[in-house]
């Protein structure tokens, strides 16, 4: 079975992703020159983006991971977000760049939760870099400082993004065939 066969359409190719990440890497290297930079990726979706992004940043850096659980649909009303995996190192006085896979509605509150949480630990700065932005669905304003691509209102998979835990390993961003998610 080949997972590529479940994809109806490729929205962003592997080459386009690589090209944009190069640009982001150059910009981030410039913006953080002379500063102590820590990239904090939110598991699991941002892991592949992080791996490629750090290799395009030329200044010294370190990176760390957090895992957050938001309780599905409930979190939209309750705002309950739980930290499942915390940072390994202190970020006090460091410049933190949070690396996220996609910002959609902003409703799950994971991004604003993590930004507030990291700010409270006396980081010198906390900014956000997302691979994808889906602004058409935005309900809660979340500040994005670096954005890879703006995407239309479609459920996308690949390059770290999953559907039921699968498709993260696709090297491109695509849309599933309706029959795969029960829409057909």
Catalytic residues: 104
Q: Are strands 173-176 and 156-157 parallel, antiparallel or unpaired?
A: antiparallel
* Shorter beta-carbon distance to ligand 5GP: residue 25 or 45: 45
| Residue ranges in contact with ligand 5GP by CB under 6 A | 45, 100-108, 155-157, 161-163
Phi and psi, residue 115, nearest 5°: -65, -45
Q: Could you tell me which residues are beta bridge partners of residue 147? A: 130
Whichever of 94 and 126 has its CB closer to ligand 5GP, that residue is 126
Least distance between ligand 5GP and beta carbon 63 (Å): 18
Shorter beta-carbon distance to ligand 5GP: residue 6 or 104:
104
State the nearest-atom distance from the C-beta of 181 to ligand 5GP, in Å: 11
7 conformational bin, left if phi > 0, alpha if psi -120 to 50, beta if neither = beta
**Which SS3 state, helix, strand or coil, does residue 138 take?**
coil
Sequence-separated (6 or more) residues with CB below 8 Å from residue 181: 155, 163
Name which of 57 and 114 has its Cβ closer to ligand 5GP.
114
| Least distance between ligand 5GP and beta carbon 144 (Å) | 11
Question: Of 101, 129, 120, which is closest to residue 38 (Cα–Cα)?
Answer: 129
Smallest gap from residue 44 Cβ to ligand 5GP (A): 9
Question: CA 96 to CA 102: how far, in whole Å?
Answer: 18
């Amino acid at each position: 079975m080949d997972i590529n066969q479940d994809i109806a359409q490729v929205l962003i190719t592997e080459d386009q992703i690589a090209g944009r990440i190069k640009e982001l890497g150059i910009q981030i290297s410039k913006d953080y020159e002379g500063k102590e930079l820590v990239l904090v990726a939110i598991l699991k979706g941002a892991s592949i983006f992080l791996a490629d992004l750090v290799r395009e940043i030329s200044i010294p850096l370190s990176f760390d991971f957090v895992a957050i659980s938001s309780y599905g649909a409930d979190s939209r009303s309750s705002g309950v977000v739980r930290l499942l995996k915390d940072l390994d190192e202190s970020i006090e006085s460091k410049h933190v760049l949070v690396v996220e896979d996609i910002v959609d509605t902003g409703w799950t509150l994971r991004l604003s939760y993590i930004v507030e949480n990291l700010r409270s630990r006396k980081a010198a700065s906390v900014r956000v870099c997302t691979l994808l932005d889906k602004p058409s669905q935005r309900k809660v304003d979340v500040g994005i400082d670096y954005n890879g691509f703006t995407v239309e209102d479609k459920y996308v998979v690949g390059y770290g993004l999953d559907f039921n835990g699968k498709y993260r390993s696709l090297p491109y961003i695509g849309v599933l065939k309706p029959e795969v998610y029960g829409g057909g």
